[in-house]
Structure 1
Amino acid sequence: MERETEIITINSIDQIPSLEAIKKLPRSKILKIIFKDSVQNQRESIGQNLKKQLPGFQIGIHALNPEINIAKLITDQEIEENQDFFENCAKDYRKLAKELIFELAEKFKISINPDCPWITFNDFKKDNRQIGKMKDWRYSLHGFHCGFENQKTGQTIEVSLVFSLEFGDLDPYFFINFIKSTPNYKPLPVIIYEDFADGRQINTKMLSLGKFERINSNFANHFGIVVVDREKVEIKEYRLG
């Protein structure tokens, strides 16, 4: 769903809407503030101040155009009211991720290294098996993930390969793309506009509610987020070299 954009052009700083006015901005609207020449040099500092003063908002300071874009993110109240939905989405994500990655291993006729699956699949990124098809799914091995897209339904999911046999890591961007692309979830019980920023808000709130938890990955100083209500998997640290 697209947002409506409200445009304000300012010639002086006192024309910027007050914090209270901005806080009343509905999530269905983006506020675009265009800075005229007389105040262009203050755009960056004003944008940084707004970021500090408006938690729960996305403040976009355009790199080239003389503008700042302000959008309200999904609220704690909305997340709390829909916590069961997001928890179930996380469980579905984990279940499908595990099914698909084991199906891909079967296609390759390999056994997944239970300590670090990334080791198993890393070599396939060096040849023409990096991208391919598996029944209705198109897969792509890249980085620490294997992405899948269902060619019939459009559903997408990214499976992390660096948490031993735990495949339910919820990267905020990938998690929201999974939710938005899953036909069974439509219509969504709450609108999600910003894939990464709203996803980060959801993860943070679900952590505070005790529905999600952080886990260490196979690599030091790298962690993920998974649903709490699951069968726990031991994750071993892997050292390169």
Structure 2
Amino acid sequence: MNELEKKIVTEAILDFDKTAKKLIEKLLTEFGVDKKEKNPFNKFISIKNNLRKGNLSENWTYWFHGDACEFENSETKQLVYVKINRNGNYGVIDNYYLYKFILTTKSLKKVSNIISNEKRFNELILELEKAKIIIDIGENEFIKTRVLNFNKIN
């Protein structure tokens, strides 16, 4: 991996992390949910209400499924897939959805121009893991929770 690829992928992950946290905060604020609650997302996951899917301000839709919430901007079509079950680690890295985030984020066009396919992107993510820039903070070997290692980022 060359330094340019390392830099732009790391910047893209930082952008994803920031966007994911912003959208989670927006969701919680708009629905009056305290993130310090033991299970703040139970309100959305429950089948008893109609909150699994809906709209937020600024053209965002959300959809809870499994252990994640998918956000999409109805105007720009930006897609942000956020894992929600890891004690406030909303920047969990899922290769497929991170790549979709890059492809749908206008400000990251340079990344998709340089890294032109998903196979190369996955190779770069693996290299970032080997360099410990991406680390697994999962509870055990079966539950992966890969996040940026902020101690390794310049």
TM (norm. structure 1) is 0.55
Q: For residues 119 and 222 of structure 1, do their structure 2 counterparts lie closer, same or farther at Cα, with a shift above 3 Å needed?
A: farther
2:114 to 168, 177, 190: 190
Q: In the alignment, is the contact (CA less than 8 A) between 2:80 and 2:101 conserved in 1?
A: yes
Take 2:39 and 2:138, find their aligned partners in 1: how far apart are those partners? 12
Q: Residues 109-160 of structure 1: CA distance to partner in whole angstroms, max 9, x if unpaired?
A: 111256555545422x543221111111011111100000111211111111
Which residue number corresponds to residue 235 of structure 1? Answer: none
1:169 aligned residue (92, 110, 119): 92
Task: Please give the per-residue CA displacement for 1:192-230, whole angstroms capped at 9, x wherever unaligned.
Answer: 323xx544323211111232111115x883121111117
Matched, 1:210 2:105: no
Corresponding residue for 2:104?
Answer: 181
Residues 6-28 of structure 1: per-residue CA shift (max 9 Å, x gap): xxxxxxxxxxxxxxxxxxxxxxx
- Are the counterparts in 2 of residues 140 and 146 from structure 1 also a CA contact under 8 Å? yes
Q: Which residue of 2 aligns with 1:142?
A: 65
Higher strand share: 1
Q: Distance in 1 between matches of 2:94 and 2:141?
A: 17
Match of 2:137, SS state, is strand
Find the counterpart in structure 2 of residue 154 from structure 1.
77
Determine which of 38, 41, 45 is the counterpart of 1:122.
45
Q: Distance in 1 between matches of 2:115 and 2:34?
A: 40
Q: CA deviation at 1:187?
A: 3.5
**How many Å separate the matches in 1 of 2:120 and 2:66?**
24
Deviation per CA, 1:50-79: give whole Å up to 9, x if none.
xxxxxxxxxxxxxxxxxxxxxxxxxxx36x
Structure 1: tracts of 5 or more residues without a match? 1-76, 231-241
What is residue 224 of structure 1 aligned with on the other side? Answer: 145
| 2:105 alignment partner AA | T
Counterpart Cα distance in 2 of 1:89 and 1:170: 11
| Distance change (3 Å), C-alpha of 1:114 and 1:179 | farther
CA contact (8 A) 2:80 2:97 kept: yes
Separation of aligned partners in 2, 1:96 and 1:204 = 23
Q: Percent identity?
A: 24
> Which residue identity is paired with 2:91?
G
Partner of 1:105: 28
Aligned pairs, number: 149
Higher relative contact order (CA 8 A, sep 6+): 2
Q: Deviations over 1:181-200 (max 9, x none)?
A: 10001133423323xx5443
TM-score of the superposed pair, with normalisation by structure 2: 0.83
2: CA distance, partners of 1:148 / 1:215? 24
Question: Which structure 1 residue ranges, 4+ long, deviate > 3 Å from structure 2?
Answer: 113-121, 197-200
Shift of 1:88: 1.0
For 1:154, what is the secondary structure of its paired residue?
Answer: coil
CA RMSD, Structure 1 to Structure 2 (Å): 2.4
Aligned equivalent of 2:8: 85
